[in-house]
Amino acid sequence: MKKMLSGVLAGMMLTGVLLTGCGGEKSKEGASADQNYDYNSTVNLTWLNILHTASPPTDVVKSKIEEYTKSKITFNWVPDASKEERITTSLASGQLADIVTLTMMSNSSVRSSLKSGLFWDVGPYLDEFSNLKNIPAKVREAASVDGVLYGVPFQKNLARSGFVIRQDWLDKLGLKVPTTLDELYEVARAFTEDDPDGNGKKDTVGFGDRSDLRYSSFKTLSSYFGTPNGWKVDDAGKFTPEFDTQEYLDTMNYSHKLYQNGYLAKDFAVTAKTDQQQQFAQGKTGIYTGMVDILNLHNLSQGLQPNMKLVPVNKISKGDGQYHIWSEGSGVGGLLAFPKSEVKSEAELKRLLKFVNDLMDEKVFMLMTGGIEGTHYEIDANGAFKVINKDLWQADVQPFASSRPSEVTYDLKDADAEKQMSNELIRENDKFAVLDPTVPLDSATMNEKGTELQKIITDATFKFIMGEIDEAGFKDAVSSWKKQGGDQITQEYEEAYAKAKK
């Protein structure tokens, strides 16, 4: 299988969780201060990890992973919905595991813990391993804090965002796939007002959405309006937060108009991701944010929307033919971090790095992606990947997808045409991805107050969209953000940026 870019399943979403009793004695065969560590020894390890599915995986694929990597793994899973609370508690209590999956890299608790020296600096060791040495320098830089790499970066595509639209509804209403924001608005209107499902009832809405400013339609629409990703930096090195730009205001006005006219789901501010997916699968909405979920949406619709046809859309402009899409983490999905409280010696660290290195081998990638060939998946005559037993795959394999250290190492051609098209568009997004300039920078105030301050902006943005405040009210919120620490954050980023440029 040739090494290229992968878009088979959803990318890594990563976090931590409380681990009962993991701070006690652990048996790592051969672990010692001996630098000539036996990499062929079996390693017993614990791993704090995120669960994106309803249930943890069975041991069917887990045992195969353990056999290949010469390990015995105790996974400690936490539901995605609980990740922020659990990771904060785990870091504060010090009840960690040998490997901790960290996401929310801008979260103040995560940043503070990384800078405190809680985790090993793995930068000096990566080049000793066959797969880890291939992690690009720009990815290492983006994953570092103050120039220190506190874990193995999860490698992701630069930008996965885009929309999934009901192609069958477009066809019924005589509409084309939108390429501009005006055309997208018209699709949302038609999906709401023109009876796209043909049942004679006004029971559909254009945009489904959820209570997450970053992963809802807003951030993607914001990109299409040309809003900077996180921060704008001018030639003089002056930083301006994205929400203090005209493009952000334009996006709020666009979203407010959608909401006011009923083209954006009225309950979006209290809707969870799983509920948003169910609404789409049930035919209640026609536009979904997240191309990577296209196959899952189709699977959820089975028995509910038998004639559903979907199209992924990644290129929408203001009408000028210029495309932009925000990049999350500049190709970094988080870190596989190793707490010094659990990993006592350099020898233990290297053995765990060897384990992570082995997870990036093609065989383990396929186990974590497809499972066991002939049982969970097959490669058809056209060389395309296809799940052959969906129920088994969901039980044995799917929960491992977000634990793959890299989603860009191997390329699989998907047998599902819609999914394959989504994969290709995600790769195309690399051409016009907009990076967040603060990813490799650090701000002490952001580490301390960033999460709390962001809530000011998130709440104000939602209120503006729903018509509860006007532009003046939003500007008051921005002023509050600045006074409570935002101005200090801006100054610290400018200083860090200037220092990095020297």
DSSP letter for each residue of 368-410? HHT-SBTTTEEE-TTSEEEES-HHHHHHHTGGGGGG-SBSSS-
Q: What percentage of residues in the chain have a pLDDT greater than 90?
A: 74
* Location of structure tokens 């809530």: 455
pLDDT at residue 50, rounded to an integer: 85
Q: Which of 317, 404, 395, 322 lies closest to 368 in space, CA to CA?
A: 404
**How many degrees, rounded to 5, is the angle at CA 86 between CA 154 and CA 355?**
35
Residue 494 has pLDDT above 60, yes or no: yes
Residue 6 has pLDDT above 80, yes or no: no
**pLDDT tens-digit readout, 353-403:** 999 999 999 999 999 999 999 999 999 999 999 999 989 999 999 999 989
Q: Which of 11, 4, 2, 3 lies closest to 369 in space, CA to CA?
A: 11
Residue 122 has pLDDT above 50, yes or no: yes
Better-scored residue on pLDDT, 214 or 178: 178
Residue 10 has pLDDT above 70, yes or no: no
Q: Which two tokens stand for residue 384?
A: 């395309």
pLDDT at residue 40, rounded to an integer: 80
477 C-beta neighbours (distance < 10 Å), count: 19
Residue 64 has pLDDT above 50, yes or no: yes
**pLDDT tens-digit readout, 428-439:** 999 999 999 998
pLDDT at residue 328, rounded to an integer: 85
Q: Which of 16, 10, 53 lies closest to 151 in space, CA to CA?
A: 16
Better-scored residue on pLDDT, 103 or 369: 369
Q: Give, as one character, the DSSP assignment of residue 309.
A: -
Per-residue pLDDT band at 39 (split at 50, 70, 90): confident
Per-residue pLDDT band at 37 (split at 50, 70, 90): low
CB 434 within 8 A of CB 223: yes
Distance (Å, whole) CA 346 – CA 434: 38
Distance (Å, whole) CA 110 – CA 231: 20
Distance (Å, whole) CA 343 – CA 254: 50
pLDDT at residue 306, rounded to an integer: 85
pLDDT at residue 4, rounded to an integer: 35
Low-confidence winner among 190-194, 251-255, 378-382 (lowest mean pLDDT): 378-382
Question: Maximum CA pair distance of the chain?
Answer: 74
Per-residue pLDDT band at 87 (split at 50, 70, 90): confident
Total number of residues shown for the chain: 502
pLDDT at residue 140, rounded to an integer: 94
pLDDT at residue 18, rounded to an integer: 34
Low-confidence winner among 30-34, 453-457, 458-462 (lowest mean pLDDT): 30-34
Per-residue pLDDT band at 250 (split at 50, 70, 90): very high
CB 52 within 8 A of CB 10: yes
pLDDT, averaged across the chain: 90
Per-residue pLDDT band at 36 (split at 50, 70, 90): low
Distance (Å, whole) CA 456 – CA 470: 15
pLDDT at residue 468, rounded to an integer: 98
**pLDDT tens-digit readout, 142-183:** 999 888 999 999 999 999 999 999 999 999 999 999 999 999
* Location of structure tokens 């993607």: 220
In this structure, the dihedral spanned by the alpha carbons of residues 228, 442, 431 and 154, taken in order and rounded to 10 degrees, is -130
Per-residue pLDDT band at 56 (split at 50, 70, 90): very high
